């Protein structure tokens, strides 16, 4: 990596601080216009938490709390009427990466993460949290997340589609 690329060097040095890469060594780029470069080598920890062009900060996410329940009222999802309620849903990381505990790493990484389901993660005193305002609706005598109803409605007519249900643990790329 070219030594003049300060933004990328800063990011790579953060990953060194996290224990995912070795400290850089100096080198020269090839070609007629050789320039100084920094060379970063991945450590085994990177393989346990990343792959391809992604870096996972946890093994999954967990529903932590539901609060600020609104009144039960009629709602429409995909043109269909349901009995529903709005509430705040707080998610936390399930099995967070150990390197998140290193000073400065969590704060820097939180700013680099893309929005997840229309909200941003933020580190706090009890770990990382994300709060969303969600709708819950009554379907077949059970409460379910409005997102699941909308996903099921959009995939219901497609080949190989499956009915989506809401659970307490959602794994995937974070």
State the pLDDT at residue 156. Answer: 66
State the pLDDT at residue 173. Answer: 40
pLDDT tens per residue, range 74-122: 999 888 999 999 999 999 999 999 988 888 888 888 877 777 666 788 8
DSSP 39-69: E--B-HHHHHHEETTEE-SEEEEEEEEEE--
CA 161 – CA 151 distance, rounded (Å): 10
Q: Give the pLDDT band of residue 165 (cuts 50, 70, 90).
A: very low
**What global pTM score does this model have?**
0.64
Mean pLDDT of 120-139: 87
pLDDT higher than threshold 60 for residue 150: yes
pLDDT tens per residue, range 7-56: 889 889 999 999 999 999 999 888 888 889 999 999 999 999 987 778 88
């Amino acid at each position: 990596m070219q030594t003049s690329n300060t933004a990328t060097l800063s990011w790579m040095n953060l990953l060194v601080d996290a224990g995912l890469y070795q400290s850089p060594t100096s080198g020269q780029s090839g070609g007629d216009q050789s320039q100084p470069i920094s060379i970063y080598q991945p450590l085994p920890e990177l393989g346990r938490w990343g792959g391809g062009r992604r870096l996972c900060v946890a093994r999954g996410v967990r529903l932590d709390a539901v609060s600020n329940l609104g009144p039960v009222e009629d709602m429409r999802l995909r043109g269909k009427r349901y009995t529903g309620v709005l509430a705040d849903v707080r998610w936390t990381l399930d099995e967070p990466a150990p390197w998140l505990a290193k000073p400065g790493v969590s704060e820097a990484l939180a700013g680099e993460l893309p929005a997840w389901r229309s909200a941003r993660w933020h580190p706090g005193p009890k770990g990382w949290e994300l709060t969303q305002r969600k709708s819950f609706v009554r379907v077949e005598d059970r409460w379910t997340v409005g997102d699941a109803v909308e996903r099921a409605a959009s995939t219901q007519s497609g080949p190989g589609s499956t009915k989506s249900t809401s659970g307490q643990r959602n794994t995937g790329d974070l």
